[in-house]
Structure 1
Amino acid sequence: MTFVQVIDCRTTRFDEMNRLMDTWVDQTKGKRTATHSVIGKDRSDDSHFIEIVEFPSYEEAMRNSHLPETDRIFQEMVALCEQTPTFTDLDVVRDEQLYAANIRRLMAEMGTKGELPPLNDLIAEHYHDHDPANEQDTLGLDAVRREMEMWRGAFDFAFTVEDQISEGDRVYTRWTWNGTQKADFMGIPSTGKQVTMTGCTTFRCREDGKIVEGWWQYDRLGLMAQLGALDELET
């Protein structure tokens, strides 16, 4: 679960503290586990600052805290403050930006060259997939990986994310899919054709950012037409 630490401090020597933070980042390069950091200044009090630091997990935050460079910089930071800074530890229970980022990662991973990654860091084991092209919903990580492998076996492809809208635990993603057929697909022999398909998917995520459900809508009829599957029906 993503973890956030909020550091509350008061200082009239912020420029010195800012340089100190730069020194810390430089000294811990390659060892620092924080993924994102934001510092804000109180509009009603120029000496009041709050830093919000994000980590992949509480364990990674503790590993960061135990670095010798962190302890040394903290002592110097305390010396620049009017009072000892306070720390608030927070488990992230909702992060819409994380949800959207994980979905972009998933769509990139689906089209990756070589072996399909495990995806267990992005998709929950009990994932539930709704695809109108399938008679039954696809249930579970292993089953959805097999579905992806079917597409990957027939096409070299990549997704382009056009738009994303997040609300609550759901992310709507509009995408364009470009592929080249390299093997049989749904009974259609390999054509070598370059094809394009548009669609949208609404994903539902849980608190840790893993994707637990997806609803797909896409122009499969248009894809079949590009592959020549409708030619016989028209004659």
Structure 2
Amino acid sequence: MKFAQMIEFRSSRIAEFDQYLDAWMAKTEGDRIPHRAVLTRDRDAEDEYMLMVVFASHDQAMENSDRPATGEFASFLAAICDERPTFRNLDVLREVEL
């Protein structure tokens, strides 16, 4: 079963996030576990974002959590956030293309 982690965060430094994510993707090319990431912005709340990271399974997500590159990413995200980010751990029950 696919697994997704939703990270809700507030940051006035989203351009730095984009640059860091691009660099992180280049650095981890060929050695990444997550297979999809979607960044969204709340249209009704300034500087509010949600990042959804999708994994093939919960086990792979837990393996990813133990990697140094993941810890570095989490530390960076915490540093650019205006408030502590909120994490939600989600089992993907259904996924369809509409």
Distance 2:25 2:84 in 1: 21
Task: Give the corresponding residue for 2:67.
Answer: 67
Does the Cα contact within 8 Å between 1:4 and 1:55 map onto a contact in 2? yes
Task: Give the corresponding residue for 1:53.
Answer: 53
Does the Cα contact within 8 Å between 1:37 and 1:54 map onto a contact in 2? yes
CA offsets 1:71-106 (integer angstroms, 9 cap, x no match): 012111111001121110011111124xxxxxxxxx
Distance 2:22 2:84 in 1: 20
Matched-pair identity in %:
34
Task: Give the corresponding residue for 1:228.
Answer: none
CA offsets 1:182-203 (integer angstroms, 9 cap, x no match): xxxxxxxxxxxxxxxxxxxxxx
Distance 2:11 2:61 in 1: 24
Deviation at 1:45, TM superposition (A): 1.6
Which is strand-richer, 1 or 2? Answer: 1
Deviant stretches of 4+, over 2 Å? none
TM-score, normalised to structure 2, is 0.92
Deviation at 1:22, TM superposition (A): 1.3
Partner SS, residue 96 of structure 1:
coil
Q: Which has the higher contact order (CA 8 A, sep 6+)?
A: 2
CA offsets 1:153-185 (integer angstroms, 9 cap, x no match): xxxxxxxxxxxxx7xxxxxxxxxxxxxxxxxxx
Partner SS, residue 23 of structure 2:
helix
Distance 2:73 2:95 in 1: 29
Specify every segment of 5 or more residues in structure 2 that has no aligned partner in the other structure, as ranges. none
Specify every segment of 5 or more residues in structure 1 that has no aligned partner in the other structure, as ranges. 98-165, 167-235
TM-score, normalised to structure 1, is 0.40
Task: Give the corresponding residue for 1:29.
Answer: 29
Correspondences of 1:1-235 after superposition (within 5 Å): 1-97=1-97
Larger of the two Rg values belongs to structure = 1
Measured on the aligned residues, the alpha-carbon RMSD in Å equals: 1.3
Partner SS, residue 72 of structure 2:
helix
Distance 2:23 2:46 in 1: 23
Distance 1:65 1:25 in 2: 16
Partner SS, residue 78 of structure 2:
helix
CA offsets 1:30-81 (integer angstroms, 9 cap, x no match): 1211111111100012210001111100111111221101101211111100
Does the Cα contact within 8 Å between 1:24 and 1:70 map onto a contact in 2? no
Task: Give the corresponding residue for 1:159.
Answer: none
